[in-house]
Amino acid sequence: MGKRYLIDSNVIIDFCNGKLNLGCKNLLVNIEPEISIITQIELFASKNISQDEYALLQKFVMMCFIHSLNTDLVNTTIEIRQNYKTKLPDAIIASTAICKELILISSNTSDFKNIRGLHFINPNDI
């Protein structure tokens, strides 16, 4: 089985807005996208989202496998929160990548780069 990737909301938004670099865009169109339930929430939580952007994001999310919370993810999230200065949503996303053995794609380098056991890449480095 090939590499699997967990996509953060900032990457999805950049992809849908045409702001993602060509290397990462090519990667995203050639994988089965996976996201955390937190990413799904983040994508649609804004009051200021236009109808067009909402529809585009909805199409993207419909193609994704969405990882829900479970006991392993909760326990790993607690460990991350205890050991790093990570916001709860980012800790859940990181724990999802760790527990599911996924490579996280996110431009939030400062939030994820130091978390041990997390395989992480910045979309600008692809």
Query: What is the reported pLDDT for 1?
Result: 59
Q: What is the pTM of this model?
A: 0.93
Domain ranges within the chain, ordered by starting residue = 5-125
CATH of 5-125, one of 3.30.70.2190, 3.20.20.140, 3.90.1170.50, 3.40.50.1010: 3.40.50.1010
Strands 5-7 and 103-105 come out as parallel
Using DSSP, state whether 120 is helix, strand or coil.
strand
Residue 11 parent element (H or E): helix 9-16
Reported confidence tier of residue 115, pLDDT bands at 50, 70, 90: very high
Q: Is 103 exposed, middle or buried (0-12, 13-18, 19+ CB in 10 A)?
A: middle
The answer to whether residues 35 and 5 touch, using CB atoms and an 8 Å cutoff, is: no
Residue 123 has pLDDT above 80, yes or no: yes
What pLDDT, in 10s, does the model give residues 29-77? 899 999 999 999 999 998 888 898 899 999 999 999 999 999 999 999 9
